[in-house]
């Protein structure tokens, strides 16, 4: 608020000395500043945030190109041509994806479905590191602000790389899905640390302060 008040005072003063083009520039700068302060991980979602997520997902359609920023490769862990990766699903992203896939679904429907309801933060990992990898053997640690964050549920399965129907492939790692109550996370950098049973290590950092 103090920032906006400062800019409005600047606009008032500038109106006496500046051209209309300078005033337009200052007003545009204010609009970007206000939007910028709204960015970042947020939970619980406000009605405005839910509507923003709805329109983002609705505009993107089922392609979901906006999800690219929620994905990270983990190049330290790989098996052959398979490179490990992680995708995070914030409450905002969840609403956007849901809106991109739903039919006959409005912004009002999204608000009704998600506003004031329990929300979750999810981490989806596809870890490949060796052919014939044993199941349930990868250790994961999630850290934020130097504190370990514990998930509320976990799902694991063997990970098989993509192949055509004529190619026989062996599992080369694990697919791991972790779910957290959304309020356990904050709008700051999140670290995901991975240890495999053959002593490989990797860490990936996710800037939740820039991901809604």
**Using one digit for the tens of pLDDT, what is the confidence trace for 50-106?**
999 999 988 866 556 678 889 999 999 999 889 999 999 999 999 999 998 889 999
Distance CA 107, CA 114 (A): 11
Mean pLDDT along residues 172-192:
96
The per-residue pLDDT for 15 is 47
What percentage of the chain carries pLDDT values higher than 70? 76
Alpha helices by DSSP H, listed for 38-180, are 47-60, 91-101, 107-114
User: Angle at which helices 107-114 and 91-101 pack, to 10 degrees?
Assistant: 140
**CATH architecture, domain 47-207:** Sandwich (2.60)
pLDDT at 130 over 90: yes
User: What is the band of 20 on the pLDDT scale with cuts at 50, 70, 90?
Assistant: very low
Judged by average pLDDT, the poorest of 78-82, 108-112, 182-186 is 78-82
| Average per-residue pLDDT for the chain | 82
Q: What is the pTM of this model?
A: 0.78
- Boundaries of every domain in the chain: 2-37, 47-207
Secondary structure class of 176 (helix, strand, coil): strand
Residue 54 makes CB contacts below 8 A (sequence gap 6+) with 95, 96, 99, 106, 107, 110, 111
User: What is the band of 3 on the pLDDT scale with cuts at 50, 70, 90?
Assistant: very low
Report the largest interatomic distance among the alpha carbons of the chain, rounded to a whole angstrom: 75
CA 169 from chain centre, in angstroms, equals 31
Question: Burial of 96 by CB count in 10 Å (0-12 exposed, 13-18 middle, 19+ buried)?
Answer: buried
The per-residue pLDDT for 62 is 52
């Amino acid at each position: 608020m103090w920032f906006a008040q400062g800019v409005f005072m600047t606009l008032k003063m500038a109106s006496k000395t500046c051209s209309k083009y300078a005033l337009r520039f200052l007003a545009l700068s204010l609009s970007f500043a206000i939007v910028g302060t709204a960015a970042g991980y947020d939970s619980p979602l406000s009605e405005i945030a839910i509507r923003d997520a709805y329109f983002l997902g609705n505009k993107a359609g089922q392609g979901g190109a906006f999800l690219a920023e929620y994905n990270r490769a983990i190049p330290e862990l790989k098996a052959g041509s398979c490179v490990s990766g992680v995708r995070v699903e914030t409450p905002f992203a969840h609403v956007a994806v849901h809106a991109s896939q739903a039919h006959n679904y409005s912004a009002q429907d999204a608000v009704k479905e998600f506003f004031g309801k329990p929300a979750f933060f999810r981490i989806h990992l596809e870890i490949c590191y060796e052919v014939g990898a044993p199941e349930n053997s990868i250790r994961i640690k999630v850290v934020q602000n130097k504190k370990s964050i514990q998930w509320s549920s976990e799902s694991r399965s063997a990970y098989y790389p993509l192949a055509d129907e004529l190619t026989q492939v062996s599992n080369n790692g694990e697919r791991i899905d972790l779910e957290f109550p959304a309020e356990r996370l904050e709008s700051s950098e999140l670290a995901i640390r991975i240890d495999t049973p053959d002593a490989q290590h990797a860490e990936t950092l996710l800037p939740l302060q820039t991901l809604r």
